Structure 1
Amino acid sequence: MRKNNYLAINIGICLFLLLPTIGCWSRYELNTLAVVIGMGLDKIEETGKIQVTAQIFNPGEKKSTAKNKGDGGSSQSFWNLKNSGDNLLEVIQGLSHKSNRKIYLADNQVIIFSNAIAKEGVQKYIDFFARNNETRMNVWVLVAKNQASQVLAVSPELESTSAVQIAQLVDAQSATSEASRVNLEKFISRLMSKTDAAIAPIVEVTGEGDDKSLSVSGTAVFKKDKLVGQLNRTETRGLLWVLDEIKNGVIVVDSPSGDGKVSLLITRSKSKITPLIMDEDIRFKIGIKEEGNIGYQSSQENLIKPPIIEELEKEQAAVIESEVIAALEKAKKLNVDIFCFGDLIHQQYPDEWLALKDRWDEVFPTINLEFAIQAKLRRTGRIGSLAVLEKE
């Protein structure tokens, strides 16, 4: 018995020592890979072919001090490799003919669709990324205001590559709540829904010449798989209030005295959406609890007085309501359910949903909202009023 125990222990030790080598057959040496960190899809207007721009990280080079050397090169830390064709899989595989390394997608940070590609329809392109076993489902999905290749050609000031900067800009949107944050998993989920509209943040190139920079703001809106419109920053934040995705941001209101503005910092937010159905009347109760601090004032009144605080809280709630209404009006105009209202009815009124699901496009523009918004100011900062230097 003891001998058998020793044998079992020895076998266990051997198996444990073999664990680090399991899976090594599929590993690659870094110097054999062309690591893609950003990918852009464009439509060539003259030929109708797909153009893929794969931004490849060049770890052997430091970032160039010269700005906007579009396609990268020997002095930059990235290389924009391009290929075109009729089929996305063939185009991406064809990138290997232009590089002496294996194209590696597992570290990709962003997928950017050009405006033209998005309007044409993205499902046939998403199919590749959904099936490819190297593609991570948490890669960010964006729509370029114009061409995706132009976005990836910008050389950023602080980051090594434009793809990394774009990914960080999307991450940083929690500070302003003026752009949606959508990864591949979330985008596919909305595309597959029979009622929910897919959305994605918008990235654009601003400035000219050596002053070009990248900006992520607003939201691209899809009907099925085609781009049909966009939300501006205000409408986007209205959408994010409903989706319970507001983290931080600034709300600017009029000073109660009327002689300036007060900027309020959003510190906490929680939203709850409740569908209400009575006969043919379909409405949604928008419950939002928000907390904030006073961040700045251009008026001279003392803001720590209770009546002033109450007035600011009312104005804060009014701004939140107006942003949600702006988002709903745009969604009704485009006739797209960007709020996932259809799913909420399906979950809470399954029987009623059976009669609604096939005509949701007709019903959605007729829905109404009820609001229950609580806005609280917790802190006023270290001063109560603007310090004014008296003239001598």
Structure 2
Amino acid sequence: MKRAIKNMVKHFSAHKKYFFLFLLFFPLFLAGCWNYRDLDQLSIVAGVGLDRSEKTGKIIVTAQMINPSALKSSGEKGSSPTPGPQSQTVRVAASSGDTVFQAVRNFVTHSSRRLYWAHMKVLVVGEKAAQEGIYPLLDFFARDHEVRPEIAIIVCHEEAGKIMQVPGGVEPVPALSLSENIQTSAQNGVAPSINLQEFLARLKSKTAAPIATHVEVFEETGIDGKKTKIIHTRGIAIFKGDRYQGEMESKETRGTMFVLGKVRTGIITFQYRGERGSFEILRSKSTITPTLQKGRLHVQVKITCEGNLGDQETVNFSQPAVIGTIEKLISQEIRFEVLSAWRHARDLNTDIFLFGEAVHRKYPREWPEWEARWDEIFPQIQVEVSVKTTLSEIGMVIQPFYQTR
């Protein structure tokens, strides 16, 4: 042992000058700007639309690119952008190719700047292109090292290229406005917020059905009579494998989001003795429990929801039983939305609720056999839904000021 230590010390002493030279020059190889590029050499992509040409079958990539000089000039106090190309906040350009990568490379015919993907927020796919298969359109973005996995996956009723040309309203960059709109819609249960990583994880699963946000373009008439185009969230876009199958609208969408435990807020209306009221959701939670009864799978979905009273017409809350009655009415509405979503998913035979994953966790031994037959098993599942609603606050008014009847 001592001889080995002596040999190590002797070896280090003989080569210590090389060791210190290595320490001296090694930091030169750690410089963080070896691949530095000026901003004027890049086109910063905020959003991308993907379509397929009906005539040629080629993939059309429409990129919404940020103009940094326009953002800077509009943000300067007392300055106004001068008319012309530099005053446009974003620039929209399209390119086509047999693959997404080829279409991206063909952008050099429009500009000498290379597309920069690190700040991309949304990836929009046209409905027709999604029906033919979405995975060939996503593979490039899953592989590229600049693309972040948090980008939102969206399916639009129209061509995706048209979505990229819709103004963002008060937001200077439309793609960023669309991203924020989806986040808000997801919290209200109006539409899901599914990023690239989540979509690909569902796509990789043999049982889970991929879902995405479904949007369309509407025309809105302003107070000046002018019509402007706005993007409206429709609900959930449902896939079977990588092919688009259909959509769910508002109430079915919220029912799905309740099952997935992703409803953070929103409004549920109810009727009590012919009068309407509004319940504001503050938080919700769900649990999915599969059981095997007489050889048939049962799934029990338990949902708890807590919220406040937003408004009502003539309800007198001085009677304690009234609160319990309203809680039951709200629970019935949530249960109706969940069961409506279940029936829609069952008809399409798409496991958008991730029931398969819950069954896999509960019955790992039986799962390999069931996984192979999941398309046969899923529509036969017996789903039971129970909802417990808690009305936490009714506000400062107990008795109505005025009786309308």
Q: Show the 5 A alignment for 1:161-200.
A: 161-200=173-212
Deviation at 1:292, TM superposition (A): 0.7
SS of residue paired to 1:107: coil
Counterpart of 2:256? 239
- Specify the structure having the higher radius of gyration (Cα): 2
Aligned residues: 376
Counterpart of 2:143? 131
SS of residue paired to 1:194: coil
SS of residue paired to 2:54: coil
- Tell me if 1:379 matches 2:393: yes
Q: Output the amino acid matched with 1:283.
A: H
Following the alignment from structure 1 to structure 2, what is the Cα–Cα distance between the partners of residues 275 and 139?
Answer: 32
Counterpart of 2:354? 340
Q: Output the amino acid matched with 2:295.
A: E
Whether the 8 Å CA contact 1:269–1:288 is kept in 2: the answer is yes
Deviation at 1:280, TM superposition (A): 2.4
| Aligned counterpart in structure 2 of residue 111 of structure 1, from 96, 110, 123 | 123
Following the alignment from structure 1 to structure 2, what is the Cα–Cα distance between the partners of residues 343 and 272?
Answer: 13
- Tell me if 1:45 matches 2:54: yes
Deviation at 1:14, TM superposition (A): 7.1
Which ranges of structure 2 fall in alignment gaps of 5 or more residues? 1-12, 75-83, 221-225
Following the alignment from structure 2 to structure 1, what is the Cα–Cα distance between the partners of residues 122 and 231?
Answer: 14
Following the alignment from structure 2 to structure 1, what is the Cα–Cα distance between the partners of residues 231 and 318?
Answer: 39
Q: Output the amino acid matched with 1:285.
A: Q
Change (3 A) 1:80 1:386: farther
Whether the 8 Å CA contact 2:339–2:385 is kept in 1: the answer is no
| TM-score, reference length from structure 2 | 0.87
Deviations 1:168-204 (CA, angstroms, capped at 9, x unpaired): 1111124421101100000000011000000000121
- Tell me if 1:76 matches 2:88: yes
Whether the 8 Å CA contact 2:280–2:308 is kept in 1: the answer is yes
Counterpart of 1:320? 334
SS of residue paired to 1:24: coil
Counterpart of 2:373? 359
Change (3 A) 1:14 1:389: farther
Counterpart of 1:290? 305
Which ranges of structure 1 fall in alignment gaps of 5 or more residues? 65-71
Change (3 A) 1:389 1:312: closer
Following the alignment from structure 1 to structure 2, what is the Cα–Cα distance between the partners of residues 86 and 389?
Answer: 68
Deviation at 1:205, TM superposition (A): 0.9
Whether the 8 Å CA contact 1:151–1:162 is kept in 2: the answer is no
Deviation at 1:384, TM superposition (A): 2.2
Q: Output the amino acid matched with 1:281.
A: R
Following the alignment from structure 1 to structure 2, what is the Cα–Cα distance between the partners of residues 235 and 274?
Answer: 21
SS of residue paired to 2:290: strand
Following the alignment from structure 1 to structure 2, what is the Cα–Cα distance between the partners of residues 355 and 13?
Answer: 58
Following the alignment from structure 1 to structure 2, what is the Cα–Cα distance between the partners of residues 266 and 325?
Answer: 19
SS of residue paired to 1:355: helix
Counterpart of 2:4? none
Q: Let me know the Cα RMSD of the aligned residues.
A: 2.7
Change (3 A) 1:329 1:18: same
Whether the 8 Å CA contact 1:190–1:197 is kept in 2: the answer is yes
